């Protein structure tokens, strides 16, 4: 069991979280970092070491005068426990097994013939079985399953209120998946799950505030402010895909028009590329190939999409002022076509010092979504 004895639980959680996200780290550095006494850190670390979650590395040499006795840094034992993460899309399940540091140890996926809840749960049960009972023998040390779903998700109850790609309304997903798999299940919105992975194990580590912008079928945004993921009073926050980019632009599925997503979402790019090329069956990768081979009209579609994304990102910088912004997503497999336009548009629209916010622009392997789901479970373990 994860130790959380009464009275010491907050310090245990703080020590574990800091070693997990910033370790290996010495007790002295931990005490300084957390504002705790050395004795309190030692007391909090003991049950974590006894339960096998932390280990003491070999003492390092003293560095410099007055450094005191050699420090033995504390480190995570990454294979103490494993976590399954699954991203559920409208036509596929993507699953991974992660260790405690959210490193992917195994992955598998299954195509979905239908998106009704019963069918998805049956496939989910089989996928989890494949992952845990295959090579690696993860079953014995796995108790948690994280699920990531796009749409309106209540993380605290595990209820999927509405998921447009799955056409689900009010599905008690955590409860049903627990019955199917026997694991403790967390459910989170997919963009928030990715943001969690970035906050704990990626570029967000140590940043008080940052934003993660995802580019793909939709344009999403996860926001961390003062170290916490922003959910918004109505469960909607950071919807930069539905910021108006061009009031005379194309209709958006949300009912508005000219939204960033209506210009830069994958479907929007395909339909604009079909229109300008006169090829009605063009796919997204056809459009990428045409643009890369110098087709000016299709190239302009990607340029406009990049400009819209840059404007959305500038809105985040102007409103929230995050320390850094990560732009990622499967749509960025074509990021050579987007990147200069995202950066130019961002620089143009970010106000004053907001333009100094560093942008990391990189493609995102689809498995990262599943890893995000596992990261939510890791966070839930730590909070439990
Ligand atoms: Zn919209």
Shared domain for 241 and 148, answered yes or no, is: no
Q: Mind listing the pLDDT tens digit for each residue in 349-369? A: 999 888 889 999 888 888 899
Task: Specify the residue for token string 């005490």.
Answer: 31
SS3 89: coil
The CA 133 to ligand 1 mean position distance, Å, reads: 43
The CA 43 to ligand 1 mean position distance, Å, reads: 52
Helices (H), the chain: 9-22, 27-34, 38-50, 117-133, 173-181, 190-201, 260-264, 266-277, 284-292, 296-320, 335-349, 367-383
Judge if the upstream peptide bond of residue 53 is cis by omega within 30 degrees of 0.
no
Domain stops at, among 35, 56, 76: 76
Shared domain for 120 and 189, answered yes or no, is: yes
Helices (H), 169-295: 173-181, 190-201, 260-264, 266-277, 284-292
Residue 348 lies in a domain: yes
The CA 253 to ligand 1 mean position distance, Å, reads: 6
Shared domain for 227 and 279, answered yes or no, is: yes
pLDDT over 90 percentage in the chain: 66
Query: Which residues make Cβ contacts (< 8 Å) with residue 334, sequence separation at least 6?
Result: 288, 291, 302
Shared domain for 178 and 250, answered yes or no, is: no
The CA 50 to ligand 1 mean position distance, Å, reads: 52
Q: Mind listing the pLDDT tens digit for each residue in 89-143? A: 989 999 999 999 999 999 999 999 999 999 999 999 999 999 999 888 899 999 9
DSSP state of 320: H
Mean pLDDT of 261-281: 95
Shared domain for 89 and 237, answered yes or no, is: no
Shared domain for 171 and 262, answered yes or no, is: no
| The token pair that represents 225 in the structure block | 């402010």
Shared domain for 100 and 118, answered yes or no, is: yes
The CA 27 to ligand 1 mean position distance, Å, reads: 50
The CA 260 to ligand 1 mean position distance, Å, reads: 7
Using CA atoms, how far apart are residues 164 and 252, in angstroms rounded to an integer? Answer: 14
Mean pLDDT of 3-23: 78
Shared domain for 163 and 244, answered yes or no, is: no
Phi first, then psi: what are they for 189, rounded to 5°? -60, 140
List the single range of 56-65, 131-140, 210-219, 303-312 with lowest mean pLDDT. 56-65
Q: What total of structural domains would you count in the chain?
A: 3
The CA 310 to ligand 1 mean position distance, Å, reads: 16
Task: Compute how many other C-beta atoms are within 10 angstroms of the C-beta atom of residue 286.
Answer: 16
Residue 5 has pLDDT above 60, yes or no: no
Q: Domain residues for 27?
A: 9-76
Residue 247 has pLDDT above 80, yes or no: yes
Shared domain for 259 and 346, answered yes or no, is: yes
- Most confident stretch, 59-68, 128-137, 230-239, 295-304: 295-304
7 in the Ramachandran plot: left (φ > 0), alpha (ψ -120 to 50) or beta? left
Judge if the upstream peptide bond of residue 24 is cis by omega within 30 degrees of 0.
yes
Residue pair 176/169 in contact (Cβ under 8 Å)? The answer is no
Residue 150 lies in a domain: yes
Residue 229 banded pLDDT, cuts 50, 70, 90: confident
The CA 20 to ligand 1 mean position distance, Å, reads: 38
Q: Mind listing the pLDDT tens digit for each residue in 47-98? A: 999 999 999 888 765 555 555 566 789 999 999 999 999 999 989 999 999 9
Mean pLDDT of the chain: 90
The CA 241 to ligand 1 mean position distance, Å, reads: 6
Instruction: Report the first-to-last Cα separation within the chain, whole angstroms.
Output: 10
The CA 221 to ligand 1 mean position distance, Å, reads: 14
| The token pair that represents 236 in the structure block | 């909607």
The CA 357 to ligand 1 mean position distance, Å, reads: 26
Query: Which CATH number does the domain housing residue 177 bear?
Result: 3.30.420.40
Residue 374 lies in a domain: yes
Residue 1 lies in a domain: no
Using CA atoms, how far apart are residues 142 and 240, in angstroms rounded to an integer? Answer: 36
Residue pair 103/110 in contact (Cβ under 8 Å)? The answer is no
- Residue scoring higher pLDDT (12 or 331): 12
Q: What share of the chain is helix, strand, coil (3-state, %, to 5)?
A: 45, 20, 35
- pLDDT, position 305: 95
DSSP state of 25: B
- pLDDT, position 69: 60
- pLDDT, position 70: 62
Q: How many CA atoms lie within 13 A of 30 on its CB side?
A: 31
SS3 73: coil
Query: Which residues make Cβ contacts (< 8 Å) with residue 232, sequence separation at least 6?
Result: 238
- pLDDT, position 61: 55
| The token pair that represents 13 in the structure block | 């959680």
Using CA atoms, how far apart are residues 378 and 384, in angstroms rounded to an integer? Answer: 10
SS3 57: coil
Using CA atoms, how far apart are residues 314 and 207, in angstroms rounded to an integer? Answer: 19
Shared domain for 208 and 335, answered yes or no, is: yes
Residue pair 28/48 in contact (Cβ under 8 Å)? The answer is no
Query: Which CATH number does the domain housing residue 65 bear?
Result: 1.10.10.10
Using CA atoms, how far apart are residues 128 and 108, in angstroms rounded to an integer? Answer: 9
Domain stops at, among 49, 76, 103: 76
Residue 158 has pLDDT above 90, yes or no: yes
Shared domain for 85 and 72, answered yes or no, is: no
pLDDT over 70 percentage in the chain: 94
Longest CA–CA span in the chain (Å) reads: 74
Q: Mind listing the pLDDT tens digit for each residue in 339-351? A: 999 999 999 999 9
**Angle at 265 (CA atoms; ends 304, 368), nearest 5 degrees:** 120
Shared domain for 48 and 89, answered yes or no, is: no
SS3 343: helix
Residue 2 banded pLDDT, cuts 50, 70, 90: low
């Amino acid at each position: 069991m994860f130790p959380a004895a009464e009275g010491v639980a907050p310090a245990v959680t703080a020590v574990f979280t800091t070693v997990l996200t910033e370790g290996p780290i010495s007790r002295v550095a931990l005490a300084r970092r957390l504002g705790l006494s050395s004795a309190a850190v030692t007391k909090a670390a003991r049950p974590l070491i006894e339960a096998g979650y932390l280990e003491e590395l070999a003492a390092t040499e003293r560095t410099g005068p007055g450094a005191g006795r050699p420090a033995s840094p504390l480190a995570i034992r990454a294979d103490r426990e494993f976590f399954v993460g699954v991203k559920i899309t409208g036509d596929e399940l993507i699953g991974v097994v992660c260790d405690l540091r959210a490193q992917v140890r195994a992955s598998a996926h299954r195509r979905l013939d239908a998106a009704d809840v019963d069918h998805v749960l049956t496939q989910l049960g089989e996928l989890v079985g494949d992952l845990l009972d295959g090579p690696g023998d993860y079953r014995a040390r796995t108790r948690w399953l994280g699920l990531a779903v796009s749409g309106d998700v209540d993380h605290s109850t595990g209820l999927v209120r509405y998921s447009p790609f799955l056409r689900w309304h009010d599905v008690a997903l955590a409860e049903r998946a627990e019955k199917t798999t026997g694991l403790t299940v967390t459910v989170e919105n997919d963009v928030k799950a990715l943001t969690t992975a970035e906050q704990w194990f990626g570029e967000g580590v140590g940043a008080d505030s940052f934003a993660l912008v995802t580019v793909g079928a939709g344009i999403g945004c996860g926001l961390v402010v003062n170290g916490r993921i922003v959910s918004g009073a109505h469960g909607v926050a950071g919807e930069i895909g539905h910021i108006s980019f061009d009031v005379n632009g194309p209709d958006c599925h949300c009912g508005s028009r000219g939204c960033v997503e209506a210009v830069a979402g994958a479907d929007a790019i395909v339909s604009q590329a079909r229109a300008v090329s006169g090829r009605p069956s063009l796919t997204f990768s056809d459009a990428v190939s045409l643009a890369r081979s110098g087709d000016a009209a299709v190239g302009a579609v990607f340029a406009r999409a990049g400009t819209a994304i840059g404007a959305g990102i500038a809105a985040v910088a102007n409103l929230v002022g995050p320390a850094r912004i990560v732009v990622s997503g499967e749509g960025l497999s074509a990021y050579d076509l987007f990147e200069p336009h995202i950066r130019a548009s961002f620089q143009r629209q970010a106000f004053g010092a907001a333009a100094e916010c560093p942008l990391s622009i990189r493609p995102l392997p689809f498995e990262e979504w599943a890893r995000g789901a596992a990261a939510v479970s890791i966070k839930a373990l730590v909070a439990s």
